[in-house]
Amino acid sequence: MIKLIAFDLDNVLIDGEVIDEMAKLTGVEEEISKITSQAMEGKIDFGTALKQRVSLLKGASVEDINKVMLEIPLMEGAKDSVKELKKRGYKIATITGSFDCIAQRMKDELDLDYVYSNTLQEEDGVLTGEVTGPLVDGSKKEILLELMKLEKISAEECAAVGDGANDVSMLEEAGLGIAFNAKPVLKEIADVIVEKKDLKELLEIFDEGSEKASKKAEEVPKESFTELLSKKKDLEKTLKELTTKRDKLNDEAKVFRQERDELNSQIRGNLDNALKFRDERDQINQEVKKYKKLRDEAHQAYKKMEWTSGRREAVQIEDEIKRLEKTIETRVLDIRKENELVKKVTDLRKKLQGMQEDEESRSEALKHKEVSEGYHAKVVELSDQAQETHEKMLEYFRNIDEIRSQADATHQKFIETRENANKVHEEVKATFGKIRKANKGMDRVKAKERNAEDEIVRKKNSEEKEKAEEIYRKFLEGKKVSTEELLLLQKHNIV
């Protein structure tokens, strides 16, 4: 039968994390909350996490902290539940790694029978950043064992309620372990899981006469100790196989991840080269654009100078001569008309022969032409370079597409392998749970055997005592006592 219930404090009896509330006073909420979360999930040792967090509170006002402690709300149903449980005859304790400034308030408000907590050190009204107490380096299991000795009860007569990794030892020791709104690490080892954030849910477990709780806590497995031991060994063998399989999958996933990362590194390298050639191409194209402009400007200057040097008029005369000669050749003309056209052509030829170009203008025009042709050659050369650079850029982009396809395939293998490893890990955790239950079953079988042995001893002692008292009465009446009978009287402190 359950006689004592040990509660965690933060997020169980109160709705909040005490040290996180304190952190708001010194502006270190984020740092402390991160450490708290890691500790509750079992990622770092609770004692180390506690010292790290308390050190961040150094300099906080004790007066301000005490005010904050008064504002932290009780968990839903805490007051009614504890009151009812005490009415039903249970002893109620809180075993917390939190601090006496809040634990004492809970003792007074909830009328708790026992309170175990730590103490924040202070000097001149401010915190020193240090903490002392039984749960700085000690475990909740050790405190629960002390309580069991104090109350003269067994583990089967204790229940423990918690929510985080630092409650594991307490729940494993107690005959009945309850995970209340708990982290996965605690749910794995709990006998009962309560998801709803309302402590009144516990009243259904610890009902009148504690029949449900006693049944759960004192339930002895049907298997014998030998059967449970054999089952445990089989489970340990399965655990080893699953662990090996999980580790192998994790190693494979690690290889796939490394291959993927190497491929992604190659992608980045190819991309860097592609972008380098793209920038180089764009710079060359800017040069092409510049030389095209210079070429066109030189060509326009050449055309302009060519016409202003007299060449334009000469071309016009040549065109007129050609037109007249064609007319003479193709048309039937009278002799007078034909002579007129022939004379006109002769005059035009004389005029053409008599024309002299402006050599200076002509020379300058040719210079513009040469410059224009030079710029054009540069345009062609740079355009070829730009095209070559563009092809190199495209080659790297094609490499990227090919490598990305490989990286995606490798990433998919990594995801699938990791998921398989996670599935096996879940089996590992489930097997761990079964082993813990087998251990608990073995402990209960041993406890039952010890209780049976104790009952035999108690019965034997009772019979011996009755016999000793009868011998003592006869001794008082004057009957002689044998050495064996005298030893029996001494054993039971009758003489």
The set of catalytic residues is 8, 10
Q: How far apart (Å, rounded) are the C-alpha atoms in residues 326 and 343?
A: 14
Two tokens, residue 51: 């010292």
Q: Which residue bears the tokens 């050495």?
A: 483
CA distance readout (Å), 233 to 57, 84, 378, 435, 477: 48, 43, 85, 9, 63
CB-based contacts of 189: which residues, under 8 Å, 6+ apart?
168, 171, 172, 177, 433, 436
Q: How far apart (Å, rounded) are the C-alpha atoms in residues 380 and 388?
A: 12
The three-class DSSP label of residue 481 is: coil
- The values of phi and psi at residue 115, to 5°, are -135, 125
DSSP labels for 179-204? EES--HHHHTT-SEEE-SS-GGGHHH
Q: Which residue bears the tokens 């813990």?
A: 436
CB-based contacts of 319: which residues, under 8 Å, 6+ apart?
none
CA distance readout (Å), 254 to 248, 266, 355: 10, 18, 91
Two tokens, residue 80: 């009614």
CB-based contacts of 176: which residues, under 8 Å, 6+ apart?
2, 158, 159, 160, 191, 192, 205, 213, 216, 217
Q: How far apart (Å, rounded) are the C-alpha atoms in residues 12 and 237?
A: 37
Is the Cβ–Cβ distance between 288 and 296 less than 8 Å? no
Helix axes 46-55, 18-26, angle to 10 degrees: 30
- Residue 436, CB-side half-sphere exposure with 13 Å CA sphere: 20
Residue 154's nearest CA partner among 458, 457, 449, 461 is 449
DSSP single-letter state for residue 92: E
- The values of phi and psi at residue 160, to 5°, are -130, 140
